[in-house]
Structure 1
Amino acid sequence: MQLIDTSFSVPLLGQCELLLCHFYPQHWDANTPKQYQIDVPQYLLEKAVDKRLAEYVAGRHLAKTLLQRLNIGAQVERDEKTRAPIWPQGIVGSISHSKGIAACAVQRQTKIAGIGIDIEHWTPAKTAASISKEVWLPEEQHLLNHIDWSFEQALTVVFSAKEALYKALHPQVGKFFGFKAARLCLQSGDSNSGSLCFELTEHLHTAVPKGAVFKLAYYCSDDWVVTGIELEHKKQAQKSRD
């Protein structure tokens, strides 16, 4: 049995393709990396459980596919300390996975400054209730009351969007910041797809100050939600001529 199903795309991002695939950790075996031609670090092979190894190969398989479409043959390595992907020179990308589904988006750095994506299955009611105070403020929830989502679905969408924002900003910020560092301030769209705007409530970096606003997109299926953001290059102010 194969570990990975045929990949597919969903309409989420503007500058790059978002590629997804279903995968089956129970089908992992020692030949899987060779089958998909993915280099798995030896330390990971020795320490990680089959589920984690399956996630790694599925995500890198998508990344490899997208890089090949950009005529890039290099693979995505892994930072042993931070566990973050190491993208080829001149490339930005993001990988996410959740319970047997993986997602990846990749683009040249000449087109976008950064990217963050996240995919989450709908959070169970008990879990949502226990983490809600960590994820959002009451006013954030109220902004989504008009959408045909359950409490658990609304929380999952915001949780995922803040995770995607973290992935996009962390390479520039260089430090951890929590869910409360960004506050939902605007929503557009419906229960299937749309956008969310978040305002930073903390100063994270000279280039990422308090009050900065970021727009993320979301796309929902029956079982999961995927969110993402592409960071644009800041336009350089032209020097005036004397």
Structure 2
Amino acid sequence: MAKLFAFFAALLGASSASAQTSLAELLSELDMLLKSKHPELAASLRPPQSAEQIERMEARYQIVLPDEVRTLYLWHDGQDPTGFTTFANNMAFQPLSELLQTKAEFDSMIGYDFHLKNWWHQAWLPLFHNGGGDYLVVDPQGIHTGDANQLLAFYHDDKYRPIIAKDLTTFFKAVLDYYDKTSTEDMDEFHIIDDFLPNSNLSFDASGKAEPLQ
């Protein structure tokens, strides 16, 4: 009986795993979709980083990137920084070098320009930016919520930090759905994907107080 139970448990586990699309698979699908449906955005994406290049950057900045972030930069090294082509939610995708430079700059401002304790946190990784000082960041530690690798919005002039997605896989599933299900006629330059994201309705302020969004 125990062997039979173990067999069905393993079978169910395999079925569940196969039903979950990995981030690498989503990114591969997104690549093909963008080339056919949004060639301008596809052309703005830079060649990928190699595993060795990522390791050198990690050593230089004394950081270990989360697996999902490594997967993302093994796909493409952000977008061409000489122009601004929106990737999603009026944000562009930063090259890894710019992500780490931005993070180092913001880390150095804690306690000086950033007077509130949790205005910026050293764990945060600013992957996407709007060119005006606002970022979508990956939070490897799950500050305040405990949800490691959540994606949240950092606003340079606002204390609130809305939770955007529970992880990058969830975020890129919404990106893929947006570009797949939205006709080119209905797209604007902002590419807002909120309707394709699970609704968390949760934000927290720099004091660490979490509260529903109004």
Band of TM-score, shorter chain: under 0.3
Identify the structure with the greater helix proportion.
2
TM-score (norm 2): 0.26
